[in-house]
Amino acid sequence: MSTKKEIIFSGIQPSGNLHLGNYLGAIQQWVDMQKRLSPEDTLIFCIVDLHAITVYQDPKILRQKIREVAAMYLACGIDPKNAHIFVQSENPDHTYLSWVLDCVVPYGQMLRMTQFKDKSQKQQEGTTVGLFNYPALMAADILLYDTTTVPVGEDQKQHIELTRDVAEKFNSMYGETFVLPKDQIDTSAARIMSLQNPLSKMSKSDADPFGSIYLLDEPDEMIKKLKRAVTDSGSAVSSENLSPALTNLISIFGKVTNRSFEQVLKTCEGLSYGAFKTQLGEAVVAKFEPIQKKYRALLEESGELDRILDQGCAAVSVYSSAKIQVVKERVGLGR
């Protein structure tokens, strides 16, 4: 086991309803890391609302979603005794550092970001400079806290590579300032795919409601969506013929029941697709029913959520404001 101090940072955008991909690719890793935490380590989980507005959000809904995402972190098992939980826009150090990094990161490298290419194609004329600059803000989120590890899904890998590059460049221009972070990707849930299109990732902005299982879907809705999930031309689970759609469903089954892909495959070999999907639906519901119960209780408990978010912000601001002072001195900003 590593004895080096770890600083772990990650976040989710309050830009829609959290889905199984967000949970398995990100939150479940966070909860596991929390279990293995040593007293010297620091865990920071952010609700990245400034990232969310890179695409238009209805202001009233955004406010609501910020609280919902915070409550969902807690309901899924993030314990504020172990982790700082806060809202990104409430700590202005993030935007300050983001601008400084904008002035360091090469334009050509930003142009190569595949997420920007995908999202700008969807947004067309609505594409904003904020959407383009997203990776610099994400680099700021991470570098402000001397983060060593960023647990994320695979889609964020390129942004973390850019974060390392920008940190390295800043350090060589202005002197040693930033720690170079590494990503942590759970290979068994790196990219949970849409239930309707196994070649496209499960995503908050998917227009097809049957593509994603949302963490707050009613149990019968979860079961219905899984029953309608596309498979392939076969009729029974077979290790001889694993299509991308079936591979995705088996991965989900494994993750929600704490089993490996191979264990699930062995148990389900020969099951008809119908029977397999019924078992999978029951497992997904069993996993999320208790989380949903906790979530509802947290939202009703007025004051507690705000107290946790205020405390989280105050704690992380101590780290980030010290880092901003160093950055100002290194760059020569102010008097």
Among 8, 9, 13, 214, binds ligand AQP (CB under 6 A): 13
Contacts within 8 Å (CB) and 24+ apart, 234-238 = 234/273, 235/272, 235/273, 236/270, 236/271, 236/272, 236/273, 237/265, 237/268, 237/269, 237/270, 237/271, 237/273, 237/276, 238/269, 238/270
Site membership for ligand AQP, residue 25 (CB under 6 A): yes
> How many CB atoms are located within 10 Å of the residue 60 CB?
8
Q: Are 62 and 101 in contact (CB under 8 A)?
A: no
Give whichever of 6 and 155 is closer to ligand AQP, judged by the CB atom.
Answer: 155
Distances from the Cα of 146 to the Cαs of 70, 177, 181, in angstroms? 23, 9, 8
Binding mask 26-45 for ligand AQP (x = CB under 6 A): x-------------------
Determine the Cα–Cα distance for residues 1 and 137; give it in Å rounded to an integer: 32
Of 8-16, 60-68, 244-252, 321-329, the segment contacting ligand AQP by CB under 6 A is: 8-16
- Which lies closer to ligand AQP via its Cβ, residue 80 or residue 151? 151
Note whether 161 binds ligand AQP by CB under 6 A. no
Based on CB atoms, which residue is closest to ligand AQP, 147 or 170? 147
Q: Whose CB is nearest to ligand AQP? A: 25
Residue in 169, 182, 204, 255 annotated catalytic: 204
Nearest-angstrom CA–CA distance, 310 and 174: 33
Integer CA distances (angstroms), 61 to 49, 201, 305, in order: 12, 24, 18
Report which residue type is found at 139. Answer: A
Q: Considering the rule CB under 6 A, would residue 226 count as an interface residue with ligand AQP?
A: no
Provide the minimum distance between the beta carbon of 130 and ligand AQP in the complex, in angstroms, as a whole number: 13
Report the site for ligand AQP in 181-220 (rule: CB under 6 A). Answer: 189, 191-192, 201-205
Alpha carbon separation from 208 to 107, 197, 203, 212 (Å, rounded): 34, 10, 10, 8
Our finding on whether 155 is near ligand AQP (CB under 6 A) is: yes
Residue 54 sits in the site that holds ligand AQP (CB under 6 A):
no
In the block, tokens 């205020």 appear at 310
Joined together, the tokens standing for residue 103 give 């002035």
Q: Which stretch binds ligand AQP (CB under 6 A): 18-26, 58-66, 170-178, 305-313?
A: 18-26
Size of the site for ligand AQP (CB under 6 A): 19
User: Is 239 one of the binding residues for ligand AQP (CB under 6 A)?
Assistant: no
Quote the least distance from Cβ 35 to ligand AQP, whole Å: 19
Within a 10 A sphere around the Cβ of 48, how many other Cβ atoms? 24
Q: How far is the CB of 133 from ligand AQP (least distance, A)?
A: 15
Does 22 contact ligand AQP by CB under 6 A? Answer: yes
Contact letters (x/-) for ligand AQP, 94-133, by CB under 6 A? ----------------------------------------
Residue 224's CB is within 10 A of a number of other CB atoms, namely 13
Catalytic residue (choose from 5, 35, 201, 328): 201
Cα atoms found within 13 Å of the Cα of residue 209, Cβ hemisphere only: 5
Say which residues have a Cβ less than 8 Å from residue 255's Cβ, sequence separation at least 6.
Answer: 24, 28, 188, 189
Query: Quick check: is 204 catalytic?
Result: yes
- The DSSP letter of residue 112 is T
Q: Which is nearer to ligand AQP, 192 or 291 (CB)?
A: 192
Catalytic residue among 119, 157, 227, 294: 119
- Is residue 60 within 8 A of residue 287, CB to CB? The reply is no
Comparing CB distances to ligand AQP, the nearer of 189 and 299 is 189
Residues recognised as catalytic: 119, 201, 204
For ligand AQP, the binding residues (CB under 6 A) are 12-13, 15, 21-22, 25-26, 152-153, 155-156, 189, 191-192, 201-205
